Amino acid sequence: DTAVSQTPKYLVTQMGNDKSIKCEQNLGHDTMYWYKQDSKKFLKIMFSYNNKELIINETVPNRFSPKSPDKAHLNLHINSLELGDSAVYFCASSQGAGGSGNTIYFGEGSWLTVV
């Protein structure tokens, strides 16, 4: 019954590898997001998808690519992983854009460690 679910929850991988994090929401929302929480616990938006179109991309390296097969899914692909990519990645969703006044719902996070 989880509203926003993401997998895997924990991921440890070596530098240079390519990995994906999957996200699904069952709320019927039309906007999904990826946020990154760094080692200092600072949350920052990476991507926003509305109706399967990328709306924003906040200075994220092009090694990161969001892919949305449908309105309920927004997966995050990361190529050539670097040590600095180690962080917690949160998926989120809302009805309409976040600024429309609707609450944004977050998944429980995916802990990525690059060694």
Partner 1 sequence: KQEVTQIPAALSVPEGENLVLNCSFTDSAIYNLQWFRQDPGKGLTSLLLIQSSQREQTSGRLNASLDKSSGRSTLYIAASQPGDSATYLCASSGGGADGLTFGKGTHLIIQP
Nearer to partner 1, 15 or 43 (CB): 43
Alpha carbon distance 1, 26 (integer Å): 8
Cβ neighbour number for residue 25 with a 10 Å cutoff: 23
The answer to the question of residue 45 lying near partner 1 (CB under 8 A) is yes
Amino acid at 4: V
Tell me the number of residues near partner 1 by CB under 8 A: 28
> Contact with partner 1 (CB under 8 A): which of 1, 39, 41, 70?
41
Residue closest to 96 by CA, chosen among 33, 44, 47: 33
> Contact with partner 1 (CB under 8 A): which of 66, 81, 107, 112?
107
Alpha carbon distance 74, 94 (integer Å): 13
> Contact with partner 1 (CB under 8 A): which of 28, 69, 103, 115?
103
Q: Return the range that interacts with partner 1 (CB under 8 A); candidates 11-19, 20-28, 36-44, 71-79.
A: 36-44
Residue 64 β-bridge partners? 78
